[in-house]
Amino acid sequence: MRLVIGIWFIIINLIGYFVMSEDKRKARRRQERTPERTLFLLALIGGALGVLIAMYRWRHKTKHLSFVVGIPVLLFINAVLYVYFLR
Protein backbone atom coordinates (compact mmCIF):
# COMPACT_ATOMS: atom_id res chain seq x y z
CA MET A 1 0.00 0.00 0.00
CA ARG A 2 2.86 2.41 0.80
CA LEU A 3 4.32 1.88 -2.65
CA VAL A 4 1.00 2.70 -4.33
CA ILE A 5 0.58 5.86 -2.25
CA GLY A 6 4.18 6.89 -2.95
CA ILE A 7 3.73 6.41 -6.68
CA TRP A 8 0.41 8.30 -6.56
CA PHE A 9 2.10 11.18 -4.69
CA ILE A 10 4.81 11.50 -7.32
CA ILE A 11 2.54 11.17 -10.34
CA ILE A 12 -0.25 13.49 -9.18
CA ASN A 13 2.21 16.18 -8.11
CA LEU A 14 4.05 16.01 -11.43
CA ILE A 15 0.71 16.31 -13.22
CA GLY A 16 -0.26 19.26 -11.00
CA TYR A 17 3.06 20.98 -11.69
CA PHE A 18 2.85 20.48 -15.44
CA VAL A 19 -0.81 21.50 -15.74
CA MET A 20 -0.16 24.71 -13.77
CA SER A 21 2.96 25.43 -15.85
CA GLU A 22 1.06 24.80 -19.08
CA ASP A 23 -1.72 27.13 -17.94
CA LYS A 24 0.87 29.88 -17.42
CA ARG A 25 2.24 29.25 -20.92
CA LYS A 26 -1.28 29.44 -22.35
CA ALA A 27 -1.93 32.67 -20.44
CA ARG A 28 1.13 34.28 -21.99
CA ARG A 29 0.02 33.22 -25.48
CA ARG A 30 -3.59 34.22 -24.88
CA GLN A 31 -4.80 30.69 -25.62
CA GLU A 32 -7.66 28.73 -24.09
CA ARG A 33 -6.89 28.23 -20.40
CA THR A 34 -7.21 25.42 -17.90
CA PRO A 35 -10.23 26.04 -15.66
CA GLU A 36 -9.38 27.05 -12.08
CA ARG A 37 -11.70 24.29 -10.96
CA THR A 38 -9.35 21.75 -12.59
CA LEU A 39 -6.30 23.21 -10.84
CA PHE A 40 -8.07 23.01 -7.48
CA LEU A 41 -9.25 19.47 -8.21
CA LEU A 42 -5.67 18.36 -8.91
CA ALA A 43 -4.60 19.94 -5.63
CA LEU A 44 -7.50 18.33 -3.77
CA ILE A 45 -6.75 14.79 -4.95
CA GLY A 46 -3.17 14.94 -3.73
CA GLY A 47 -1.28 17.26 -6.06
CA ALA A 48 -1.23 20.42 -3.96
CA LEU A 49 2.55 20.41 -3.61
CA GLY A 50 3.11 20.32 -7.37
CA VAL A 51 0.53 23.04 -7.96
CA LEU A 52 2.03 25.22 -5.23
CA ILE A 53 5.59 24.82 -6.51
CA ALA A 54 4.54 25.72 -10.07
CA MET A 55 2.41 28.58 -8.79
CA TYR A 56 5.40 30.29 -7.21
CA ARG A 57 8.00 29.07 -9.72
CA TRP A 58 6.11 30.68 -12.60
CA ARG A 59 4.40 33.42 -10.53
CA HIS A 60 1.05 32.19 -11.76
CA LYS A 61 -2.18 32.87 -9.85
CA THR A 62 -0.19 34.43 -6.99
CA LYS A 63 -2.49 37.47 -6.94
CA HIS A 64 -5.60 35.32 -6.60
CA LEU A 65 -6.52 35.09 -2.92
CA SER A 66 -8.32 31.81 -3.53
CA PHE A 67 -5.05 30.26 -4.71
CA VAL A 68 -2.74 31.97 -2.20
CA VAL A 69 -4.90 30.67 0.66
CA GLY A 70 -6.60 27.64 -0.85
CA ILE A 71 -3.62 25.74 -2.23
CA PRO A 72 -1.62 25.85 1.06
CA VAL A 73 -4.76 24.71 2.93
CA LEU A 74 -5.13 21.81 0.50
CA LEU A 75 -1.41 21.06 0.90
CA PHE A 76 -1.91 20.78 4.65
CA ILE A 77 -4.89 18.47 4.15
CA ASN A 78 -2.87 16.40 1.65
CA ALA A 79 0.00 16.10 4.13
CA VAL A 80 -2.31 14.96 6.93
CA LEU A 81 -3.91 12.35 4.67
CA TYR A 82 -0.59 11.10 3.27
CA VAL A 83 0.80 10.70 6.80
CA TYR A 84 -2.37 8.95 7.96
CA PHE A 85 -2.33 6.45 5.10
CA LEU A 86 1.42 5.86 5.25
CA ARG A 87 1.41 4.90 8.95
Let me know the angle formed at the C-alpha of 79 by 76 and 80, rounded to the nearest 5 degrees.
90
Low-confidence ranges of the chain (pLDDT < 50): none
Say what the pLDDT of residue 39 is.
98
Say what the pLDDT of residue 40 is.
98
Say what the pLDDT of residue 68 is.
98
Q: Count the alpha carbons within 13 Å of 8 in the hemisphere toward its beta carbon.
A: 15
Say what the pLDDT of residue 32 is.
98
> What is the model's pTM?
0.95
Q: How far apart are CA 25 and CA 57, in angstroms?
A: 13
